[in-house]
Amino acid sequence: MQPVSAHPCAPAFERSDAAIHPAVPAVGQSTSPARAGGEPLARVIRLATTGVWVVKRHGRMLEIDGRLNWNCPRTLASDAERAGVVLSDLVVNTGHQL
């Protein structure tokens, strides 16, 4: 972005095509932070309305030991550890608890 003279009190900017920053990542480009092993952290999601926990990686639900959802975060964490899946410590909470 480069400053453009508009009104002296209000700065305005124009787009510089020298640096392209797409709003949507390219196909195959992950938005999750990668860890040292190369795989991104698995995102933990708590579905409050149903009371279950799920995990996403690469934008898809992750199946761990044949399961797609868990009733408690401790069970999810132990299953993930056994399977070698590293979970993010940030939990996404959706919905509302009934």
Task: Tell me, yes or no, whether 26 lies in a domain.
Answer: no
User: What would the DSSP string read from start to end of 2-67?
Assistant: EEEEEETTEEEEE--TTS---SSPPTT---SPB-TTSSBPEEEEEETTTTEEEEEETTEEPPBTTB
Task: Tell me, yes or no, whether 9 lies in a domain.
Answer: no
pLDDT above 90: percentage of residues in the chain: 56
Q: pLDDT band at 38, cuts 50/70/90?
A: confident
Q: pLDDT band at 71, cuts 50/70/90?
A: very high
Q: Is the pLDDT of residue 62 over 80?
A: yes
Q: Is the pLDDT of residue 21 over 90?
A: no
Q: How many domains are contained in the chain?
A: 1
Task: Tell me, yes or no, whether 93 lies in a domain.
Answer: yes
Task: Tell me, yes or no, whether 70 lies in a domain.
Answer: yes
Identify the domain containing residue 87 by its residue range: 41-98
Q: Is the pLDDT of residue 51 over 70?
A: yes
Task: Tell me, yes or no, whether 97 lies in a domain.
Answer: yes
